[in-house]
């Protein structure tokens, strides 16, 4: 059976859109339909909850469209909740992975913090007019005497915390999967879980590879230290944290112990480390120093330095324009490259989702085939 599972995994890994486009898209659509059907069944089972949220949504919509003393505060709260939900959703996508290691921090939160940092040092203030902030950053009329990194960190604290909270929520599926497997006694057909299950047995050497030893160390840290072990594992950049969730679920660690430590580690400690790094990297003197050093590169230094200087100068000019006024735009090749790079990363992210869901549907078919063989 183990050999058959391994063979199925190898066959499943080959199902990608650039090798089998028609089959991949077909399985992706079937998996989407399957998940929608499951979601509809669950919603029908919780009719009272669904009815409550429908009534609440209708009531909220009526409050939103009806003018009155409440309108301004209601719209501001709605905007705040939408902003928080946006970053929580990106955090969940980043943590769940969906078949890729691409971080939404690199695509969204990191550039947002970098833009706020550059604008704060140029404007000498973080009191950007709202609107157009956060869609567009414009310098306020009043400036401060100095600008500290802690002021900038405070400006982006909400979105960073929400993104970190989303990554903590995204770590729950491995925990619940392992917990359900332990309580039911049925091991799920999941490669990460089976690799972790092997380490739940006594292997003092932890294997020969560095990865095996790192996984064993992670398992021991979480199992022996408990809350503070989970907190430490969640507070640092850790690609093996899924193993922490599986370990906690397998040994039936209480939910709030696991999620509380994960939330504090990822949304508070780790996010402050990442914010400080981005803010310090994109502070005014560091950016100017980097651009100056770029000119010393042989052959390509000057051709690269000029467009970078032009790009930064245009960004500074855009920060000082008044809202509603027209800005003459001229796209540089550097901006064009950045935009195409972001588009390519987003496309890769979408393709990885398609591949992952198609492989998930194929895994179900393979499991059905194995069950039929077992019955025979």
Distance (Å, whole) CA 86 – CA 80: 10
- Is a pLDDT exceeding 80 seen at residue 48? yes
CA dihedral (133, 120, 333, 342) positive or negative: negative
Interacting residues of 240 by C-beta distance below 8 A, sequence separation 6+: 214, 215, 218
pLDDT at position 333 is 67
The pLDDT, as a whole number, for residue 33 is 93
Is it the case that residue 264 has pLDDT exceeding 90? yes
Mean pLDDT of 354-371: 84
Q: For residue 158, what pLDDT is reported?
A: 92
Q: Which two tokens stand for residue 257?
A: 């112990």
Find all residues with CB under 8 Å of 160, minimum gap 6, and list them: 87, 109, 113, 271, 272, 274, 275
| Count of alpha carbons within 13 angstroms of residue 175, beta-carbon side | 21
Residue 55: pLDDT band (50, 70, 90) is very high
Highest average pLDDT, of 96-110, 174-188, 251-265, 320-334, comes from: 251-265
Question: pLDDT, tens digit, for every residue of 24-34?
Answer: 999 999 999 99
Half-sphere exposure of 349 (CA within 13 A, CB side): 19
DSSP summary character for residue 68: S
- The whole-number pLDDT of residue 98 equals 42
At residue 101, the pLDDT reads 44
At 37 the pLDDT is 92
């Amino acid at each position: 059976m183990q050999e058959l599972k391994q063979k199925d995994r190898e066959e499943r890994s080959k199902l990608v859109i650039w090798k089998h486009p028609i089959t991949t898209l077909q399985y992706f659509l079937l998996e989407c339909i399957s998940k929608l059907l499951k979601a509809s069944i669950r919603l029908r089972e919780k009719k009272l909850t669904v009815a409550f949220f429908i009534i609440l949504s209708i009531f909220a919509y009526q409050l939103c469209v009806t003018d009155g003393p409440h309108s301004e505060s209601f719209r501001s709260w709605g905007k705040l909740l939408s902003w928080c939900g946006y970053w929580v959703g990106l955090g969940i996508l980043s943590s769940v992975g969906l078949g890729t290691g691409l971080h939404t921090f690199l695509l969204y939160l990191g550039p947002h913090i970098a833009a706020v940092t550059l604008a704060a040092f140029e404007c000498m203030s973080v009191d950007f007019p709202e609107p157009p902030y956060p869609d567009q950053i414009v310098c306020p009329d009043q400036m401060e005497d100095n600008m500290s990194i802690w002021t900038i960190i405070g400006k982006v604290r909400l979105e960073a915390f929400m993104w970190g909270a989303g990554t903590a929520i995204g770590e729950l599926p491995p925990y619940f999967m392992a917990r359900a497997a332990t309580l039911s006694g049925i091991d799920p057909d999941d490669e990460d879980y089976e690799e972790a299950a092997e380490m739940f047995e006594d292997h003092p050497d932890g294997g020969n590879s560095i990865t095996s030893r790192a996984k064993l160390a992670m398992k021991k840290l979480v199992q022996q230290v408990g809350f503070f072990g989970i907190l430490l594992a969640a507070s640092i950049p850790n690609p093996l944290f899924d193993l922490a969730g599986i370990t906690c679920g397998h040994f039936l660690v209480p939910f709030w112990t696991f999620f509380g430590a994960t939330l504090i580690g990822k949304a508070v400690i780790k996010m402050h480390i990442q914010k400080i790094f981005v803010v310090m990297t994109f502070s005014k003197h560091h950016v100017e120093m980097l651009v100056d050093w770029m000119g010393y590169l042989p052959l390509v230094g000057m051709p690269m330095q000029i467009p970078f200087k032009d790009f930064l100068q245009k960004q500074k000019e855009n920060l000082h324009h008044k809202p509603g006024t027209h800005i003459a735009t001229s796209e540089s090749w550097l901006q064009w490259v950045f935009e195409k790079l972001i588009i390519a990363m987003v496309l890769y992210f979408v393709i990885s989702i398609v591949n992952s869901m198609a492989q998930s549907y194929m895994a179900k078919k393979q499991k059905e085939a194995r069950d039929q063989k077992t019955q025979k």
